[in-house]
Chains A and B, each alone.
Chain A
Amino acid sequence: MRTVRIVLWVLVAIAAATFAYLTLQPASQKEPKGDAIALSGMGGPFTLVGSDGKPFSSSALSGKAHALFFGFTNCPDVCPVTLARLVKLRNELGAGDASFQILFVTVDPERDGPSEVGKYAELLNSPVTGLTGSPAQIDQVKKQFGIFSRKVPDESGGYSVDHTSTVLLFDGNGRFTGTIAPEESDKAALAKLKRITA
């Protein structure tokens, strides 16, 4: 009789553990809903290549608020527009170029080497950290940050790249705090940038 009771309690414990596992598993393991970028499980350490051709480790961002944007340098419109807007908003914040770091990661490592990803800083005449890497490194970082990109052939025999155009924001503790979408107003974007630099 005692053995039966023990077996029953063991079964209850297994059922409770299974229930807890199924209901309490972390959100990051679940399928993301729609196009929203999940707040949890975003980012993590990475190593890429800077515009000087040297390795760039994400540990260099420790203690620094930053805005992360993925694009490509043959992108004539949305990429320079987004980066120019970040530079403009950083100037409007009035706390200097160190208030938050602007990072540009190419999703087109086949065409964008170190010197190409450095072009935006030159074009915008403001510090923009351009990053590239091997296709495998870029794929890994895209996965970490939930970034989509796909090459699309264009009419001249080359290709364009469809890509996530949302800017990802991180505070000084490296915590992902939100996003800036292209269609968002400057006022809303500025408020978010104030929050990460506070």
Chain B
Amino acid sequence: MKRLIPAALLLASCGQGGSPNVQIADAWARETVADQTSTAAYLTITNSGTADDRLVDVLAPEPIKASVHATENSGGISRMREMASGVAVPVGSTVELKPGGTHMMITGLRAPLHRGEALKLRLRFAKSGEKLIDVRVAPASGPESH
């Protein structure tokens, strides 16, 4: 999925000086109950480097699928859309994927995710390459609530 985008972004970034330094924190996914096949995961990305970067894809272990989505609320209506061009992580910025906003949509779950467990996700950045992270499964209300 979207294999061409990282390549295109890499080409577009040629000639730009510096390199990004991307760090991931506070990754968590909402727990699920039996027969629930989808959920959402959230995290914070900080870029303390000297060049912009972009989260272009999220990969989950088969058969689970992951993609970056945005929830937009306007005029009392909630709409969820895939972010086909990924998430920009400019130099010096901290980008939050949080409930009610941009999130990683997780689908194709065959078994429930129980709190305390970890889900492995591979984040693919345009310049920083792939980062394998452990996403902690937390209660529906969020990791701080219990």
Contacts and interface: CB of A to CB of B under 8 A. Distances in A.
A and B from one complex: yes
B141 A77 contact: no
A166 B76 contact: yes
Interface string A68-110: 0000011111101101110110000000000000000000000
B73 A148 contact: no
A92 to B, nearest CB: 12
B40 A87 contact: no
B73 A165 contact: yes
A78 B82 contact: no
Given A81-B99, A84-B140, A88-B141, A155 B67 contact: yes
Contact of B31 (A76, A123, A148, A160): A123
B16 interface: no
A181 B76 CA distance: 7
Interface stretch (B47-55, B86-94, B100-108, B124-132): B100-108
Which residue of B35, B79, B82 has the most chain A CB atoms within 10 A of its CB atom? Answer: B79
A156 B100 CA distance: 22
Size class of the B contact interface (CB-based, 8 Å) = 20 to 34
Contacts of A81: 99-100
Interface residues of A, number: 36
A35 interface: yes
Contacts of B76: 35, 37, 148, 164-166, 181
Contacts of A76: 30, 38-40, 69, 80, 103, 105-106
Contacts of A119: 33, 35-36
Contacts of B67: 155
B115 to A, nearest CB: 11
**8 A-B pairs closest in CB distance:** A165-B78, A76-B40, A35-B75, A84-B141, A81-B99, A162-B79, A78-B78, A84-B140
